């Protein structure tokens, strides 16, 4: 099944269960100051859960564009190093606004995964919330019972976990609730954890068991003080990471080997003259392909790189991608050219990137050009300083050097941290912050004279 067919089959299945299909909301949230980027399918429905907006349909489904690079959900560090984290991803979701609840959500997820998409039942696991005393939320026995009643999952494949894994919240505040996740065991050959003490298991920290779908039972609102308040009605909010599903259904080891990414990787290869391979160059291919998607969709939806807030997140992503371009020996702007293959892959599902293609390319190119002017010199300086540190058998890259890289060469702190980490070093963040503060004081004094 092609990725476009899989996306459509999800929507068709839910339509058959009485859901109204809605378009993805923009990746730049509208009227929600608690979020820099849309990080889950439920964001656009937050006010409905809170009872602050009228509903027009009790059941809806969509494929939502999401970005997770800041706040509560932040996957940036993992991206490129493994094969299944992304800054930008699509989330398939279905919602019930005070209509169906755990029974149907569980039964339909199982039906779609095992009857329609034919995933092997014996490889699937369901998790439920074990409860939390501090929040005064009981163990979710109701979900466990529905798994037993509605499906033929192996009873010993129903597992309970705590708040970190099975209580879902979009941010520090807002609608939230216990969740029930479906994981698949892809087999021991997928384990990528080389810690000798590691044991492969659900939520065990390797790529063998991966989460496919999260069924959230929205029952509470968390307020600014951290207290939970029961909502007047119970809702369903589900999220299935599309790229992972495509990989599993297309029987690919990596999300990047699916048809969502291969045209982009091929174009990177064409432009750089390098094959997509293992090792550091492979990481660079994946980072660039991933970051291209985040940048393009964010820019299409109205964000632009800048020095603050959302704009700075985009700038960090772009600069990270540009630096990985140097790993592939690309010294001229080239990321903007990849829009060509991105539009081929995603343009039908998301026409906004077709309509705004020229604009997105212009914005990315301008950013690549401006950072390109200082990037090579910054890398040289970083290499010298890092060599000095390593030679003196230290493990900490000095904060004042990280500040110079930031201030003079435009290196976001997390880029310097990433480069330091590749050499087994950490950055003295406190020292960096002290220099930032000194500079802030210098500039406020300069403004006051």
Locate 313 and state its tokens.
């997140």
Locate 417 and state its tokens.
């941290």
Shortest spacing between CB 45 and ligand GLY, in angstroms: 10
90 or 290, CB closer to ligand GLY? 90
Q: Which of residues 371-430 bind ligand GLY (CB under 6 A)?
A: none
Exposure class string for 180-217: b at 16+ Cβ within 10 A, else e:
bbbbbbbeeebbeeeeeeeebebbeebbbbbbbbbbbb
Q: Where are the beta strands (DSSP E) in 109-196?
A: 124-129, 158-161, 167-169, 174-185
Q: Which of residues 18-47 bind ligand GLY (CB under 6 A)?
A: 40, 42
Residues 149-168 vs ligand GLY: string with x where CB under 6 A? -------------------x
Q: Say what angle helices 357-391 and 279-300 make with each other, to 10 degrees.
A: 140
Shortest spacing between CB 312 and ligand GLY, in angstroms: 24
Shortest spacing between CB 23 and ligand GLY, in angstroms: 18
Distance between CA atoms of residues 143 and 321, nearest Å: 42
Distance between CA atoms of residues 155 and 281, nearest Å: 44
Shortest spacing between CB 177 and ligand GLY, in angstroms: 10
Cross-strand partners of 211: 183
Q: Which of residues 227-256 bind ligand GLY (CB under 6 A)?
A: 237, 239
Work out whether 214 is an interface residue with ligand GLY (CB under 6 A).
yes
Work out whether 144 is an interface residue with ligand GLY (CB under 6 A).
no
214 or 417, CB closer to ligand GLY? 214
Chain centre to alpha carbon of residue 2? 22
Q: Which of residues 108-137 bind ligand GLY (CB under 6 A)?
A: none
39 or 341, CB closer to ligand GLY? 39
Distance between CA atoms of residues 414 and 393, nearest Å: 23
Q: Which of residues 173-212 bind ligand GLY (CB under 6 A)?
A: none
238 or 296, CB closer to ligand GLY? 238
Cross-strand partners of 66: 89
Query: What distance, in Å, lies between the first and last C-alpha atoms of the chain?
Result: 67
Q: Where are the alpha helices (DSSP H) in 393-428?
A: 399-409, 413-422
Total chain residues near ligand GLY (CB under 6 A): 7
3-state secondary structure of 11: helix
Shortest spacing between CB 288 and ligand GLY, in angstroms: 26
Work out whether 216 is an interface residue with ligand GLY (CB under 6 A).
yes
Distance between CA atoms of residues 140 and 175, nearest Å: 17
165 or 428, CB closer to ligand GLY? 165
Shortest spacing between CB 211 and ligand GLY, in angstroms: 8
Shortest spacing between CB 433 and ligand GLY, in angstroms: 32
Nearest CA to 27 out of 62, 66, 53, 61 is that of 66
Shortest spacing between CB 319 and ligand GLY, in angstroms: 27
235 or 319, CB closer to ligand GLY? 235
Kindly give the pairing relationship between strand 88-96 and strand 228-241: antiparallel
Shortest spacing between CB 3 and ligand GLY, in angstroms: 20
236 or 346, CB closer to ligand GLY? 236
Shortest spacing between CB 42 and ligand GLY, in angstroms: 5
Shortest spacing between CB 280 and ligand GLY, in angstroms: 31
Chain centre to alpha carbon of residue 381? 32
Q: Where are the alpha helices (DSSP H) in 17-140?
A: 46-49, 102-110
Q: Say what angle helices 309-327 and 413-422 make with each other, to 10 degrees.
A: 30
How far apart, in Å, are the Cα atoms of 444 and each of 272, 434, 437? Answer: 45, 15, 11
Q: Are 249 and 165 in contact (CB under 8 A)?
A: no
Tell me the residue number closest to ligand GLY, measured at CB.
239
Q: How many residues does the chain have?
A: 449
91 or 419, CB closer to ligand GLY? 91
42 or 284, CB closer to ligand GLY? 42
92 or 389, CB closer to ligand GLY? 92
5 or 172, CB closer to ligand GLY? 172
Residues that bind ligand GLY (CB under 6 A): 40, 42, 168, 214, 216, 237, 239
């Amino acid at each position: 099944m092609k990725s476009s067919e899989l996306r459509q089959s999800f929507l068709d299945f839910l339509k058959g269960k009485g859901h109204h299909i809605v378009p993805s909301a923009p990746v730049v949230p509208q009227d929600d100051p608690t979020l820099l980027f849309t990080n889950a399918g439920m964001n656009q429905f937050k006010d409905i859960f809170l009872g602050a907006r009228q509903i027009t349909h009790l059941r809806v489904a969509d494929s939502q564009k999401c970005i997770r690079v800041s706040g509560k959900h932040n996957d940036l560090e993992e991206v490129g190093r493994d094969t299944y984290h992304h800054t930008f991803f699509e989330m398939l979701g279905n919602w019930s606004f005070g209509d169906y609840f755990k029974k149907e959500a569980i039964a339909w997820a199982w039906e779609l995964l095992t009857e329609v998409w034919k995933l092997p039942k014996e490889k699937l696991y369901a998790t439920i919330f074990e409860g939390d005393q501090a929040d005064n939320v009981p163990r979710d026995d109701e979900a466990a019972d529905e798994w037993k009643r509605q499906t033929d999952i192996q009873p010993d494949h129903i597992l309970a976990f705590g708040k970190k894994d099975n209580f879902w919240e979009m941010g520090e505040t807002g609608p939230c609730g216990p969740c029930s996740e479906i994981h698949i065991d892809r087999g021991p050959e997928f384990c990528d954890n080389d810690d000798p003490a590691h044991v492969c298991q659900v939520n065990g920290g390797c790529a063998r068991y991966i989460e496919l779908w999260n069924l959230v039972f929205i029952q509470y609102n968390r307020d600014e003080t951290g207290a939970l308040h029961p909502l007047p009605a119970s809702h369903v909010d589900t999220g299935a990471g599309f790229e992972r599903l495509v990989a599993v259904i297309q029987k690919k080891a990596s999300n990047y080997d699916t048809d969502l990414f291969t045209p982009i990787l091929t174009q990177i290869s064409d432009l750089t003259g390098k094959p997509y391979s293992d090792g550091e160059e492979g990481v660079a291919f994946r980072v660039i392909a991933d970051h291209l998607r985040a940048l393009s969709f964010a820019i299409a939806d109205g964000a632009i790189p800048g020095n603050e807030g959302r704009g700075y997140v985009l700038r960090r992503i772009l600069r990270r991608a540009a630096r990985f371009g140097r790993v592939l020996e690309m010294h001229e702007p080239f990321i903007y050219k990849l829009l060509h293959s991105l539009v081929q892959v995603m343009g039908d599902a998301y026409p906004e990137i077709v309509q705004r293609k020229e604009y997105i390319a212009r914005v990315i190119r301008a950013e690549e050009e401006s950072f390109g002017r200082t990037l090579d010199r910054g890398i040289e300086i970083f290499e010298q300083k890092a060599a000095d540190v390593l030679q003196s058998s230290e493990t900490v890259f000095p904060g004042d050097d990280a500040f110079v890289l930031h201030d003079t060469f435009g290196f976001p702190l997390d880029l310097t941290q990433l480069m330091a980490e590749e050499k087994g070093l950490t950055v003295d963040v406190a020292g960096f912050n002290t220099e930032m503060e000194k500079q802030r004081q210098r500039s406020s004094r300069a403004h006051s004279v």
